Amino acid sequence: MTEQASIDQTAMAKMIGDTMLHPPPQPFPKTPTDYGIDYRDVTFETRDGVTLSGWLLNETADKAIVMTHFGYRANRYGYQLRHQPEGSVPYDKEIEFVNVAKRLTDAGYAVLMYDLRNHGLSGKSKLGVGTGGLDERWDVLAAVDFVAEEPATAGKPVGLLSYCMGANSTINAMAEDPDAFVRAGVKAMVALQPLRNGDFLRQTGVVDELWQAVEDHFTAHTGGISLDYPVQDAATSVNVPTRLVQARKDPNTDFDFVATLFENIPVEKEMYWLEEPTHRFDGYNWFGDHPEDMLTWFDAHVPNRAAT
């Protein structure tokens, strides 16, 4: 490799790595009020000292959902095209997670939506970068602790709706402190498209020396956390009935990874394949337009408080 080629590769590796390390800032063009949902702003602290910002929707409902967004390119509101890094826009439609929350509130759930660390209005972590769901496990634990202790939601049955990196974060949180989910009354999870960063990059064509250069850049900023951190191993700690959701035509994942993660879940589980979407990000909008499977799973496993 020539010196110029080495410099070009280093610059390219930094650019690619930084899209995962440094989420683009995004504002909130709407609030739940714009969807006809009562809510209030909330904040809560993680065990490692990060202040997280969120919305608590429909808090008088008899059961609750903790909703964890997919990170990197989104915040609790969703994914906005105009705020994506220049030259790096993987999807051409807006994603509004509040559309999904509206489906849940209409079905009788309270919903906690919050920004992961280094995203939205939440605080910066000590690392100050995204890690693909490992450092972010503390955020899920904080959200679960919050609904267990907050007077409006304490004692209510809880479900988890976790997207992509949010699903990784939730699975890692269960490996970190499974008892926290028992204490909070968590009854079930819908985990949509968990994904290792390394698989995403390889499937999008980042291979060989460039992939290694991106890995080196990423681990240098995350304290040694790999793009291929094995979240599938943490799946052995999942302790609630889980519906794993995956677009069958997703071009950005490794289906062997998905199969292994599903196999490792030791409790009641079902695989739900999205047959129509042809883009990974289509799956993130799916439950806003097609909530039936999500609601069926939660309704079967997350009873009204009066029924517990």
Measure the N-to-C terminal CA separation of the chain; round to a whole number of Å: 65
Domain ranges of the chain: 10-303
Q: Which stretch of 264-273, 281-290, 291-300 has the lowest confidence by average pLDDT?
A: 281-290
Phi-psi domain of 162 (left: phi exceeds 0; alpha: psi -120 through 50; beta: other)? beta
- The pLDDT tens digits of the residues spanning 234-259 come to 999 999 999 999 999 999 999 999 99
Closest CA to 37 of 90, 97, 88: 97
Please state the CATH superfamily assignment of the domain spanning residues 10-303 in this structure. Alpha/Beta hydrolase fold, catalytic domain (3.40.50.1820)
Number of residues assigned to the chain: 308
* Cβ(12)–Cβ(101) below 8 Å: no
Quote the pLDDT of residue 52: 98
* Cβ(224)–Cβ(170) below 8 Å: no
What pTM does this model have?
0.94
Distance in angstroms (rounded) separating the CA atoms of residues 191 and 258:
11
Query: What percent of the chain is modeled with pLDDT above 90?
Result: 81
Q: Which stretch of 2-16, 87-101, 166-180, 274-288 has the lowest confidence by average pLDDT?
A: 2-16
Q: Which stretch of 83-87, 138-142, 186-190, 291-295 has the lowest confidence by average pLDDT?
A: 83-87
Q: What is the mean pLDDT of the chain?
A: 93
Instruction: Tell me the C-alpha to C-alpha distance, in Å, between residue 167 and each of 12, 194, 234.
Output: 28, 5, 11
Specify the DSSP class assigned to residue 36: T
Pairing status of strand 242-247 against strand 186-192? parallel
